[in-house]
Structure 1
Amino acid sequence: MLTAFLCDSSYASHFCVVRDSNIVRFPFRSHVIPRKVLSVRYTLSILTKLCCSNKIRVVDKADSHLLIQKAVESLYPIFQSRDQITKRNLFRLLEAFRQHRVSPSMFWSANGYGHGDLGRETLDQIYASLFDCESALVRLQFFSGTHAIACCLYGILRPGDEWVSLTGPPYETLEQVIGLTGNQGNGSLKDFQIGFRQLDLRANGEIDLDAVSGFIRKETKLVFFQRSCGYAWRKSTTIRQLAKAIAHVKQIRPDIICFVDNCYGEWVEEMEPTHVGADIIAGSLIKNCGGTIVPSGGYIAGRMQLVELAKSRLSAPGIQGGATLDHLRTLYQGLFLSPQFVGEAIKGACLISQVMKSLGFPVQPLPHDYRTDIIQSVQLGNSHLVSSFCESVQRMSPVNSYVQPIAGNTPGYEEQVIFANGTFIDGSTSELSADGPLRSPFCIFTQGGTSWLHWQLVLEDFVSRYNENLS
Structure 2
Amino acid sequence: MIEQFFDVSPRFQELDARAMELCRPEFEKIDAIRDYNQVKMLKAFTDNRVAATHMMGSTGYGYDDAGRDRLDQVFAQVMGAEDALCRPHFLSGTHALTVALFGLLRAGDTLLAATGRPYDTLEGVIGIGDAGKGCGTLAEYGVKYDEAPLQNGQPDYALIAEKAKNATVCHIQRSRGYSSRAAFDLATIEKVIRTAKEANPNVVVMVDNCYGEFTQTAEPTSVGADLIVGSLIKNPGGGIAPTGGYVAGRADLVEKCAHRLTAPGTGRELGCTLDSLRQLYLGLYYAPGVTAEAIKTSIYASCLLDLLGKNPLPKYTDPRNDIITSFETGDPEAMVAFCQGIQAGSPVDSFAAPEPYAMPGYTSEVIMAAGAFTNGSSIELSCDGPMRPPYTVYLQGGLNFAASRAGVLLAAQKAFGER
TM-score range, shorter chain: over 0.9
Q: For residue 341 of structure 1, what is the aligned residue in structure 2?
A: 290
Q: For residue 283 of structure 1, what is the aligned residue in structure 2?
A: 230
Of 48, 73, 78 in structure 1, the residue corresponding to residue 21 of structure 2 is 73
Q: AA paired with 1:459? A: V
1:312 aligns to 2:259 (yes or no): yes
Q: For residue 315 of structure 2, what is the aligned residue in structure 1?
A: 366
Cα 1:251/1:236, change in 2 over 3 Å? same
Of 120, 134, 157 in structure 1, the residue corresponding to residue 105 of structure 2 is 157
Q: For residue 229 of structure 1, what is the aligned residue in structure 2?
A: 176
**In 2, are the aligned partners of 1:433 and 1:447 still within 8 Å (CA)?**
yes
1:169 aligns to 2:123 (yes or no): no
Q: For residue 140 of structure 1, what is the aligned residue in structure 2?
A: 88
User: Shift in Å at residue 468 of structure 1?
Assistant: 5.1
SS in structure 1 of the partner of residue 172 of structure 2: strand
Provide the rounded CA distance (Å) in 1 between the counterparts of 2:39 and 2:81: 18
**Alignment length (residue pairs):** 409
Deviation >4 Å, runs of 4+: none
Provide the rounded CA distance (Å) in 2 between the counterparts of 1:272 and 1:366: 22
**In 1, are the aligned partners of 2:164 and 2:203 still within 8 Å (CA)?**
no
Provide the rounded CA distance (Å) in 1 between the counterparts of 2:65 and 2:317: 45
Q: For residue 83 of structure 1, what is the aligned residue in structure 2?
A: 31
1:450 aligns to 2:399 (yes or no): yes
SS in structure 2 of the partner of residue 435 of structure 1: strand
Provide the rounded CA distance (Å) in 1 between the counterparts of 2:365 and 2:415: 24
**1:201-242 alpha-carbon deviations (Å, 9 max, x no partner):** 121x22111222222243x10100000001101111111111
Q: For residue 75 of structure 2, what is the aligned residue in structure 1?
A: 127
1:252 aligns to 2:199 (yes or no): yes
Equivalent residues in 2 for 1:27-426, closer than 5 Å: 61-180=9-128, 181-203=130-152, 205-218=153-166, 220-319=167-266, 320-426=269-375
Q: AA paired with 1:111? A: T
Provide the rounded CA distance (Å) in 2 between the counterparts of 1:462 and 1:137: 38
User: Shift in Å at residue 253 of structure 1?
Assistant: 1.3
Cα 1:461/1:298, change in 2 over 3 Å? same
User: Shift in Å at residue 342 of structure 1?
Assistant: 0.4
**In 2, are the aligned partners of 1:352 and 1:455 still within 8 Å (CA)?**
no
User: Shift in Å at residue 185 of structure 1?
Assistant: 2.3
User: Shift in Å at residue 446 of structure 1?
Assistant: 0.8
Provide the rounded CA distance (Å) in 1 between the counterparts of 2:362 and 2:79: 30
Q: AA paired with 1:402? A: F
Provide the rounded CA distance (Å) in 1 between the counterparts of 2:192 and 2:410: 42
User: Shift in Å at residue 61 of structure 1?
Assistant: 4.3
1:436 aligns to 2:385 (yes or no): yes
Q: AA paired with 1:269? A: Q
Provide the rounded CA distance (Å) in 2 between the counterparts of 1:213 and 1:349: 34
Q: For residue 36 of structure 1, what is the aligned residue in structure 2?
A: none
**1:18-71 alpha-carbon deviations (Å, 9 max, x no partner):** xxxxxxxxxxxxxxxxxxxxxxxxxxxxxxxxxxxxxxxxxx942211111111
SS in structure 2 of the partner of residue 337 of structure 1: helix
**1:299-340 alpha-carbon deviations (Å, 9 max, x no partner):** 000111111111111110121221111111111000011000
SS in structure 2 of the partner of residue 365 of structure 1: coil
SS in structure 1 of the partner of residue 140 of structure 2: helix
Structure 1 gaps, min length 5: 1-59
**In 2, are the aligned partners of 1:61 and 1:467 still within 8 Å (CA)?**
no
Q: AA paired with 1:76? A: R
Provide the rounded CA distance (Å) in 1 between the counterparts of 2:48 and 2:376: 31
User: Which one is further off, 246-255 or 352-361?
Assistant: 246-255
User: Shift in Å at residue 139 of structure 1?
Assistant: 1.1
User: Shift in Å at residue 179 of structure 1?
Assistant: 0.6
Cα 1:467/1:230, change in 2 over 3 Å? closer
Cα 1:244/1:182, change in 2 over 3 Å? closer
**In 2, are the aligned partners of 1:115 and 1:321 still within 8 Å (CA)?**
yes
Q: AA paired with 1:238? A: D
Cα 1:217/1:463, change in 2 over 3 Å? closer
Structure 2 gaps, min length 5: 1-7
Q: AA paired with 2:239? A: T
Q: Percent identity?
A: 39
Q: AA paired with 2:349? A: N
